[in-house]
Structure 1
Amino acid sequence: METITKRVIYLYGASGHGKVVAEIAENLGFETIIFLDDDASLDKIWDYPVLHEIPKSIPHLCLTLGNNYTRKKLAQKFSHETFGTLISPSSNISKRIKIGAGTVVMSGVSINADVQIGRHCILNTNASVDHDCELEDFVHVSPNASLAGNVSVGEGAHIGIGASIIQGVTIGKWAMIGAGAVILSDVPDFAVVVGNPGKIIKYQKNPETTIES
């Protein structure tokens, strides 16, 4: 687990999510925070500048966008840059976990022993991930969502706010679990699941193969 220790960080995404990550960076002692964003109408977030052109040299970069597939595309675009891991000081995490580069752990998050978390994931406010879970790259666990032990979450899956997943369940890649859903059995790739108990209501298109206009 690599934690950023430098004093300068660039945050790609001048949004509400970016603001939360910026405060984590402040709490970790960063003195210079610079936002990057394509929106030309933005020039500042608080006292921090928003740049619209990518500098030639970026010491450390964090992708502060909530959309999982957008983060993946940007991670591929900036694959030559250095990504670190931002972990809120007010989180509670085991020393026996592995976290990939670019992942952000928000305030109040609990992560227990032998959890493996991939690259560019979001563990959002007050989420709980119990022992021996495995989260692949670009997963987003929303605020107050709870994963019991031995849960596996595939690449790009989104666990909605307040959702609960019982032990041993597998969530497929790019699946979406609705807010407050209770998941009692495995969820296939690309499925959208809502309710208590969770039921599949539809399947999403594979973002890897969708042709963008």
Structure 2
Amino acid sequence: MYLYGANGHCKVVLEIAELLNIPINGVIDKSPNSSSLFGYPIYKEIPKDCKNLFVSIGDNSIRKALVNQNSKYKYSSLIHPNSSISSRSKIGKGTVIMAGVSINSQVIIGNYCIINTNCSIDHECLIHDFVHISPNVALAGNVEVGEGTHIGIGSSIIQGIKIGKECIVGAGAVIIDDIPDGSTVVGNPGKIIKTKIIQDNND
């Protein structure tokens, strides 16, 4: 496996791969700060022998662009052994589940997501592709999070809420109402402070 991206997020992903005894061939970064990371070589381009790739970049839009540019490779999920995952949940390809995460019954996690340290996702939640759920986030049951959305650290979302795609939920926000696409929401209770127009395409 090669990891694409050599910054802080990559370091956590790399250590999960090590814990799972997944061989790491190297790291790819177009503008590396050094020639190696934790003893693994850093390449500026994807090596020709690459078959299995993992995009280890925290930014949702950059991660999506890189996956779309490199769709021919195999992408596996990485699940930290110190996470609690219901056998009735589903985890998509290219997704990382970090330490201390709790995922309950019939949760569906999409492709290329980041489910970060110590977050809790309760029953029957639906997390679409390219979502980042930050550390210590709490999602109650039946919450839906749209593609490309970033849920900020320590935020809480009550049951049954639907959050649109490409939203930003600020750190510590408490979400008690549905959130439309492209919204930035902060505070307790959460209030929309900005909305962007979302392009409807299949990129």
Q: Which bracket does the TM-score occupy, shorter chain normalised?
A: over 0.9
Q: 1:12 aligns with which of 4, 7, 18?
A: 4
Q: 2:144 aligns with which of 130, 149, 152?
A: 152
Identity %: 54
SS of alignment partner, residue 74 of structure 1: helix
Q: Which amino acid aligns with 1:191?
A: S
Deviation at 1:99, TM superposition (A): 1.1
Residue 167 (structure 1) aligned with residue 159 (structure 2): yes
Deviation at 1:45, TM superposition (A): 0.8
Deviation at 1:40, TM superposition (A): 4.2
Question: C-alpha distance in 2, partners of 1:46/1:40?
Answer: 13
Structure 2 residue runs of 5 or longer lacking an equivalent are none
Matches within 5 A, 1:169-184: 169-184=161-176
Counterpart residue number, 1:4: none
Contact 2:6 2:32 in 1 (8 A): no
Counterpart residue number, 1:85: 77
Q: Could you state the TM-score of these two structures normalised by the residue count of structure 2?
A: 0.95
Q: Which amino acid aligns with 1:160?
A: G
Question: C-alpha distance in 2, partners of 1:61/1:208?
Answer: 27
User: Deviation string for 1:25-61 (max 9, x for gaps)?
Assistant: 0100124341100114421111111111211231311
Question: C-alpha distance in 2, partners of 1:151/1:32?
Answer: 35
Q: How many residue pairs align between the two structures?
A: 201
Q: Which amino acid aligns with 1:53?
A: E
Counterpart residue number, 1:187: 179
Deviation at 1:204, TM superposition (A): 3.3
Contact 1:161 1:178 in 2 (8 A): yes
Contact 1:107 1:126 in 2 (8 A): yes
Residue 203 (structure 1) aligned with residue 195 (structure 2): yes
How large is the Cα RMSD of the aligned pairs? 1.3
Deviation at 1:207, TM superposition (A): 6.9
Q: Which amino acid aligns with 2:104?
A: N
Contact 2:17 2:24 in 1 (8 A): no
Counterpart residue number, 2:41: 49
Q: 2:90 aligns with which of 80, 90, 98?
A: 98
Q: Which amino acid aligns with 2:164?
A: G
SS of alignment partner, residue 9 of structure 2: helix
Structure 1 residue runs of 5 or longer lacking an equivalent are 1-8
Q: Which amino acid aligns with 1:181?
A: A
Q: Which amino acid aligns with 1:143?
A: P
